[in-house]
Amino acid sequence: MMEFFYYVYLFRIKATGKVIYVGSTRTVGERINEHRRSMREDDRAQPIHKYLHANHLELIKDVEIDIVDYAKSKQKGLELESYYYHKYEITAINVWDANKRDGNNSPRQRRLVSKDGKDFYNSQRDAAVKLGITRSAVAQMVKRGELIPQLIPDKYQNIETGERFASGYQVQHLYNLDSKTINKLNKNGEIIVNGMTIRKV
């Protein structure tokens, strides 16, 4: 019986060593081709592809693809992807919109907010990655009322990646900003973070 592996890979900018994306796949070549296609077709572009375009970066030429780990099951592969995501969370661009799938893992699902109202997640997958748990565990948290499905209007947008935020706290937490910077965002309408424009909408 043929054995399949799930590989965890990184996009790393050659010039700086900065990791900008973490992903997992069973078919590396096919997945890379999907990324390259998304670079060519605007309607398929995800935040990482918009970031590459905005910074004039090309896969292979400017951004190397490193396979850093593997697993023998999809679930373990996702757990490893979550581990590496948290390891490079400050610089990684693969945020919520980076995984457009059907079902409970889709970012089209309702957003989730923590019971205390401080933490927001764009999907069950986003919550799973940020909390370091499985998506089934997230679903259980929703059932227990620990995470509450919400329809929250967007207040801010990353112009380069297209990602949207429901609160200043969400922006502050994701980009590790101080309160003064968030106050500046609210006062001036936009700020520059890591070369990207965050703007009120």
Specify the CATH architecture of the domain 6-94. Answer: 3-Layer(aba) Sandwich (3.40)
Give the confidence band of 62 by pLDDT, cuts at 50, 70, 90: very high
pLDDT tens string 66-107: 999 998 887 788 888 888 887 886 666 654 433 333 333 333
pTM of the predicted protein model: 0.49
Domain boundaries, the chain: 6-94, 103-150, 156-200
For every residue of 54-120, DSSP letters joined together read: HTT--BTTTEEEEEEEEESSHHHHHHHHHHHHHHTTTT----GGG---SGGG-TTSPEEEETTS--E
